[in-house]
Structure 1
Amino acid sequence: MKLKNKITILITGGAGFIGSNLCEYFLNKDYNVICLDNFATGHKHNVETFIENNNFKLIEGDIRNIDDCRKSVQGVDYVLHQAALGSVPRSINDPATTNDVNVTGFLNMLIASRDAKIKRFIYAASSSTYGDSEALPKVEDVIGKPLSPYAITKYVNELYAEIFSNTYGLETIGLRYFNVFGKNQDPNGAYAAVIPKFVMQLMNLESPKINGDGNYSRDFTYIDNVIQMNELAMNTKNNEAINTVYNVAYGDQNTLNNLVESLKNNLSIYNPSIMNVEVEYGPNRIGDIPHSLASIDKAKKMLGYNPQFSMEQGLIESVKWYWENLKR
């Protein structure tokens, strides 16, 4: 039951990497938080510390099931929709399931949110939407053709959100995440993100494998910057700032070679032998965008976004967390 005078937030995919960080942040700010997750990629251990919190409710359900979506939005003020099947390679290997979760599940959540008359629907969009556009930095209104099934699904999300805003009056804001990293990001599995995967390999004195020559670049974005943007998107009173999309990044470009060197430097504080680990190089990965750098001018102007963590600053925090929590 919703507590009087308390704002209630539904976080779909709340047991995942980004979702669990959002759960923790908003619980610490005394919001009511509902977490919807089917644990396909999220983990119960990410939310187990919240279970005893009276402001927290866990619903085990699937966004592909409209009844689960309707149940989860009851009494909700804001939806932070993080649930999705990420990973370009996963979508190439299994486009049908990626589409089912990311498109059908997204549409279900929009329908349920519209019918429940929630105040605003903030959703995780993706930098993959920029596709084959070579323009740098990436500006929100200039995109190319998608390079993977995953990218298609995330672009379709934006199109559906716009339709629901224009047709039904549902307030929506899309957040195009750029290579987010930080605590709770899973280093295991075939589709693990590059930073936690490299961290685990280096901690085990194994050679990280880079796809290509290591000169592909990314705008690596620490989780706290993402949390800031979700909060700004949820709380903005600027009508011109809603029903649109924003880049969520730091606005800096780092190659994969730079990333590995920084990881080795940070991890060698705990084990000097890590500095001696050699890097392996392999073929470029299908569907990968060569270079990614975000313009964050729109987010700064419209929402007052002010990212506090560069890649280097975020890696210091992340490496410390991984060493303390995953080193056995």
Structure 2
Amino acid sequence: QPPAPANIYAFSKVHLDNLARDHSRRNPAWKIVGLRYFNVYGPNEPHKNKAASMIYQLYLQMKAGKRPRVFRAGEHKRDFVYVKDVVGMTIHALTARQSDIFNCGSGVAVSFNDVIAELNKCLGTRLEAEYIDNPYAFYQPHTEADMSKAKAELGWVPKFTPATGIADYVKLLEGGAANG
């Protein structure tokens, strides 16, 4: 079924996917492989400031002893993908036999409450979420990458679950890894 973008950002992504498909059809010698990155998190985020991943932002709040702030109820779900998996899939995508577009995610949607629970576990804290109103009209309540095509056509599957990725990331942050 054709994509039905829910907002202007998603529309722009569908438009770029269509341009890539069109160019690869008109130029069969070209191999164009597109990767749709889901919610990427991992080392080297401090320079992003407010654009850094929610996992990093929640970590900073909790590390400072503050209650992590999330939209009301905290049950919105995201497919958080660890940057180590993103790098692995990006390199692996070079082996694609033909032009195509693939999702790049963990294949698992987790709630913000689940992320907070995992961060509490990693940090040895018991901070409860502070729920705030969501000011965004077109906020997506759920994102989840279907990774079946990447597995079938590229033979690639994520190495990290959201829990193991968060644990690895926190270990790097706590160990003073360069740029967190």
Alignment map for 1:16-35 (pairs within 5 Å): none
- Which residue does the alignment assign to 2:168? 317
In the alignment, what sits opposite 1:189?
49
Give the secondary structure class of the aligned counterpart of 1:307: coil
Equivalent residue, structure 1, for 2:25? 166
Write the distance in 2 (CA, Å) between the matches of 1:287 and 1:260. 24
SS of the residue corresponding to residue 325 of structure 1 reads coil
Partner of 1:20: none
Tell me which of 237, 244, 253 is aligned to 2:100. 244
Deviation at 1:286, TM superposition (A): 3.3
Q: Which amino acid aligns with 1:176?
A: R
Aligned residues: 176
Shift of 1:302: 0.3
Cα distance change, pair 323–188 in 1 and its aligned pair in 2 (3 A): farther
Identity %: 27
Q: Is the 8 A contact 1:176 1:247 kept in 2?
A: yes
Any idea what the Cα deviations from partners look like across 1:259-286, whole Å, max 9, x if unmatched?
A: 1111111012xxxxx32x3321112233
Preserved contact between residue 187 and residue 193 of structure 1 (Cα < 8 Å): no
Partner residue in 2 for 1:226 = 86
- SS in structure 1 of the partner of residue 44 of structure 2: coil
TM-aligned CA deviation for residue 200 of structure 1: 0.7
Instruction: Say which of 143, 155, 164 aligns to 1:304.
Output: 155
Question: How many angstroms apart in 2 are the aligned matches of 1:150 and 1:325?
Answer: 34
Partner of 1:287, secondary structure, is coil
For 1:246 and 1:312, the matched residues in 2 are separated by: 23
Which position in structure 2 is the counterpart of 1:134?
Answer: none
Q: Would you say 1:175 and 2:35 are equivalent positions?
A: yes
With normalisation by structure 2, the TM-score equals 0.87
In the alignment, residue 165 of structure 2 is paired with which amino acid? G
Residue 280, structure 1, aligned to residue 130, structure 2? yes
Q: TM-score, normalised by structure 1?
A: 0.50
Deviations 1:71-103 (A, max 9, x none): xxxxxxxxxxxxxxxxxxxxxxxxxxxxxxxxx
- C-alpha separation in 2, matches of 1:308 and 1:295: 15
The corresponding residue for 1:107 is: none
Using the TM superposition, give the Cα deviation of residue 187 of structure 1 relative to its aligned residue in structure 2, in angstroms: 7.2
Rg larger for = 1
1:262 — aligned with what? 118
Q: Check whether the contact 2:150–2:156 (CA below 8 A) recurs between aligned residues.
A: yes
**Residue of structure 1 aligned with 2:16, choices 157, 175, 192:** 157
Matches of 2:37 and 2:111 in 1, distance apart?
18
Q: Structure 1 residue 145: deviation in Å?
A: 2.5
Describe the superposition over 1:121-140 as per-residue Cα deviations: whole angstroms up to 9, x where unpaired.
Answer: xxxxxxxxxxxxxxxxxxxx
Contact 2:40 2:53 (C-alpha < 8 Å) held by counterparts = no
Would you say the 8 A contact 1:187–1:197 is kept in 2?
A: no
2:113–2:129: 8 Å Cα contact kept in structure 1? no
Against the structure 1 CA distance between its residues 296 and 189, is the aligned structure 2 distance closer, same or farther, given a 3 Å change threshold? same
Contact kept in structure 2, 1:174 and 1:245, CA below 8 Å: yes
Q: Cα offset for 1:317?
A: 0.8
Distance 1:249 1:189 in 2: 23
What is the CA-CA distance between 1:295 and the residue it aligns to?
1.8
Provide the rounded CA distance (Å) in 1 between the counterparts of 2:74 and 2:58.
13
Deviation of residue 287 (structure 1)? 2.7
- Deviation string 1:276-304 (CA, Å, 9 cap, x unpaired) is x3321112233321112222111111000
